[in-house]
Structure 1
Amino acid sequence: MMCLDYIIVGSGFSGSVVAERIVNVLNQRVLMIEKRNHIGGNCFDYFNENGILIHKYGPHIFHTNYKHVWDYISQFTEWNYYQNKVLGLIDGKKVPIPFNLNSLYVLFPYRLANLL
């Protein structure tokens, strides 16, 4: 019979991090129970038969201002650099969305944009 210290239900981000910390910091044994056939929760992707990366549950973009969080997660993954820039077309001009000061500078002359 297997001797366990912890049972964790769900292998999304929270369950996976807690399990990893218990194993590697506390040196305890963990059983993870997951209803899906993969770990990672909704942040799961795979390559299809044509070699195309598929985000099974939709795209996932990770961002943080905390270096220790970035460093921790980087132990377990490789990153694809991505910068999200959404533009709307207003009067033939590409304007940053959500609307901000840069949007004003695109739409109006500089002096007028500064007055707004």
Structure 2
Amino acid sequence: MYKESIEKLLELLYKTLKSRRYLIVIDDVWDTEFWDNAKLKFLFPNDNNGSRIMLTTRKEKVAFSANSCPPLHRMHFLDEVDSWKLFCEKVFEEDCCPLLNWRKLG
């Protein structure tokens, strides 16, 4: 029964995200089993509408396992300006955030 509930929840999430633009951040993944066993890469619809999934990990093997389109970004400490610039490049594929109020939020 628990497994059926989880599967229904995952199906609902997929249907909710379908045809919508979204940003999902999955933080601090430690092993490839999380990504592979949960079938997360198939959970999020790819409608070529600018949606993004950002995964953070300390382990290169996990990053390579989950990454469907290179390049990986190897982290080092960033200042506030560079942090915001990286976020905008990865999410919006531009140098700056298109929505001014998002900049205030960030």
Under a length normalisation based on structure 1, what TM-score does the superposition of the two structures give?
Answer: 0.27
Higher normalized strand content (fraction of residues)? 1
Bigger radius of gyration, 1 or 2?
1
More relative contact order, 1 or 2 (CA 8 Å, 6+ apart): 2
Under a length normalisation based on structure 2, what TM-score does the superposition of the two structures give?
Answer: 0.28
Higher normalized helix content (fraction of residues)? 2
